[in-house]
Structure 1
Amino acid sequence: MITRDIVPLLKQRLAHFPAVAILGPRQSGKTTLAKQLGGTYFDLEQTGSVLRLDARWDALVADEDLLVLDEAQEAPEFFPRLRGAIDADRQRTGRFLLLGSVSPTLMRGVSESLAGRLALVELSPFLLSEVGEERLDDLWLFGGYPDGGIRDSAIYGPWQESYLALLMQRDLPAWGLPAKPRTTDRLVRMLAAMQGQTMNAARLGSALGLDSKTVAGYCDYLEGAYLIRRLQPFHSNIRKRLVKSPKVYWRDSGLLHHLLGTRTLDELFAQPWVGHSWEGFLVEQTISSLASAGSTARPFFFRTSDGYELDLVLEWGGERWAVEFKLTSSPTVDMVDRLSKTADMIDASRHILVCRTTDEVDTGRLLVTNAGCWLRQLAGRH
């Protein structure tokens, strides 16, 4: 069984908070992780489980065992009762573990009922540090969902098709998305084609026959379901016009590749968008690795109107790191020079080029390295 990087953070949060919520996409491993911790488990998608929880509530909250509530967003009526149980004994920690497949913005009742009482941790699909650096290209191609192909490549494709169909036809409408499944399907495919590009809701809306505000609202639901990430631009007081729209990334590369019809690594390398796929894969690995460690780093991207760009800007602990991801095993002097020139525009303290090289260069300020070494450095730095 693969050990998840988030376990130390999860145990730490349970030791300090009465309730903790593990949030993340469906089938990312939340239930498996929770069951490893023990406690009394209830699946709130099952009517019988909800009825048993209701009948035994008083005894369960008085018990010393951890109470695990899976798919908590399906039964928001329990949130006020959780608040009451927590407020009756604020000194007790590690009492409740909630699992949810939507972000707090889509989980009705969390903000109102459990503010200040609940710690949030996010479980992504598998990280490179969890599956091993020798599986880098497998993880990139198939994505990180435990059942999506990384452990059995034969199911890659059919699994992604079923996963997306279930989300579009059942889950997203149940969580409040007003779009018809056919419209959602068109939107997600268009967003896949926009991987690593700045978001243009007006252009999407024109193609879908919708206004830009409606499209942006639909994307809120896709982001809340952990399908996409809208990375916000970094703003700096420099004498250049800056791009102000967010960039859009598919959070799981396997879902992206399925939507774009790519099944093998050879096919992937032949695509004109392969660089955007690699970039998005490493953006997500970086941000999710930091989140799993409990880092407070804030991620952005940077782009000027005349083409100077940084794939990732990380701000943490008074430092600012400028990061570029390149799909090459032979980084050039020009790549390094352009990175340094752009990084200097935002006064970055470190200039980092992550590629597929086997020869690392680390001068203190400049780092040229590969994905595995980069993510290991993050693990030691957070």
Structure 2
Amino acid sequence: MITRLVLDELVELLSEFPALAIVGPRQVGKTTLVKLLQKHIDAEIIYIDLENPRHEIKLSDPVLFFENNEDKCIVLDEIQRRKDLFPILRAMIDQNRKPARFILLGSASPELIRDSSESLAGRIFYKELRPFHLLELPKGSDEKLLLRGGFPNSFLAKSDKMSELWREGFIQTYVEKDLPLLGLPVSPSESRKLLRMLAHLHGQVLNYTTLSKSLGVSSPTVKKYIQFLEHAFLIELLEPYSGNSAKRIVKSPKIYLRDTGILNYLLGISNYNDLLSNPNAGNLWEGFVLQQIKTILPYNATICFYRTNHGAELDIIVTFPNQKKIGVEIKLSASPSLSRGNYEAMKDLGITHLYVIIPTEDTYLLKENVQVMGLMHFIKNIKQMVT
């Protein structure tokens, strides 16, 4: 069983908070993670799957059930299906605020976050579970992770073909069942069309007007769809730099599909050679690196990109709590070169260290204060880069 990076943090949170919510897309490993947590909890665990009628009937009188199991840790899976439980959970927690009373698991939805934050404020901590990360996997897993993505069933499939079939089924279930249940007001065929369009925009600055014309809907409607998919953890928006700058900077976000396996399926990429020869390979690698970095950043670090109307740009700028900034440029090449715009961006922002991330394990200085390195070396040493 693969040990997740968030495990130790979750154990610490459970020692403090009465309720812990682990959210993320379906099949990302939330239930398996709870099994790993079980040995760290000094109480019997009762697991309730709110999609299972045999389980849900136990909550026909939730107050009675919770009171009779006050000394246990109750896991409520797919909690977004029973938003009516949140006021009851609040009352139960206020009667007894001992840590680790409830673990809530939810396929992400804006309604889940909003309702529970209103009724369980100060009683709950949210933690997102992302797909597999390189630091969780055996050495040499980078190509496999880039192709198959980090959903456990996809990554651990017996073959690339079985992995691809799993992703096909995942997308079909998501667009036909899960997204409508979560509240996306779009037909399954339109959802699939939207996801395919976004796959081809992966790594690009988002233009709502162009996208709305292609879909035949208004720009505000497209923004609503994008926001929904972002809250559902299917896509991610990387915001532009918003600090002080004398230059005219791009103000629209860049868009990425979170999981490269899902992205590859939508782009028709079936093997690693197809991936490398695809016109979107550079942007695909960029999105992969972005997710690997975001997963391990401290919660109070910020991440953005920088681009001006005159061509100055950097793929990623990370600002740490001590206000130190580092720049990251992502290149799908073993012998990368930087543009004049990259150096202009460093000057604009006062960045003294730029890291160029490549898909090999080489590490060397390209120029003073510009270091080329492999992704694994970067994510293992990022904390030391800001001291």
TM range (shorter): over 0.9
The Cα of 1:55 is off from its aligned counterpart by 4.0
CA distance in 2, matches of 1:41, 1:241: 54
1:133 and 1:341 map into 2 onto residues whose CA distance is 36
Alignment partner of 1:116 is 2:122? yes
* SS of residue in 1 equivalent to 2:15: helix
Counterpart of 1:300 in structure 2: which amino acid? C
Aligned CA distance change for structure 1 residues 179 and 18 (closer, same or farther; 3 Å): same
**Once superposed, what is the RMSD of the aligned Cα atoms?**
2.1
Instruction: Give the aligned residue type for 1:316.
Output: F
User: Match for residue 316 of structure 1?
Assistant: 320
- Mapping of residues 225-244 of structure 1, within 5 Å: 225-244=232-251
Is 2:347 aligned against 1:344?
yes
| Displacement of 1:190 | 0.4
1:370 to 338, 349, 374: 374
State the partner residue of 2:224.
217
Partner of 2:211: 204
Counterpart selection for 1:359 from 362, 365, 370: 362
What do the CA deviations read for 1:305-356 (whole angstroms, capped 9, x no partner)?
1222111111121222211111111233x45x75443123112353221113
Equivalent residue pairs, number: 376
Q: Is the 8 A contact 1:127 1:289 kept in 2?
A: no
Instruction: Map Cα deviations across residues 59-114 of structure 1 (whole Å, 9 max, x no partner).
Output: 54553322111111111111111111111233x11211111111455545212211
Q: Identity of counterpart residues, as a percentage? A: 37
Matches of 1:73 and 1:46 in 2, distance apart?
14
Pick closer, same or farther for the CA change 1:260–1:312 going to 2, 3 Å.
same
- Residue 267 (structure 1) aligned with residue 274 (structure 2): yes
Query: Is the partner of 1:249 in helix, strand or coil?
Result: strand
Segments of structure 2 that go 5 or more residues without pairing to the other structure are: 39-44
Q: Is the 8 A contact 2:86 2:119 kept in 1?
A: yes
Once structures 1 and 2 are overlaid, which stretch shifts more, 320-329 or 45-54? 45-54
- Aligned match of 2:41: none
Q: Which residue does 1:33 correspond to in 2?
A: 33
Does residue 328 of structure 1 match 2:328? no
Match of 2:140 among 117, 134, 139: 134
- AA partner of residue 179 (structure 2): L
Unaligned runs of 5+ in 1: none
Name the aligned partner's letter for residue 24 of structure 2: G
Q: State how 1:26-175 maps to structure 2 within 5 Å.
A: 26-38=26-38, 39-55=45-61, 57-58=63-64, 60-61=66-67, 62-90=69-97, 92-104=98-110, 106-107=112-113, 109-152=115-158, 153-175=160-182
Q: Determine whether 1:253 maps to 2:256.
A: no
- Of structures 1 and 2, the one with the larger relative CO (CA 8 A, separation 6+) is 1
Q: What's 1:5 paired with? A: 5
Shift of 1:198: 0.8
Q: Tell me the distance in 1 between the aligned counterparts of 2:368 and 2:122.
A: 40
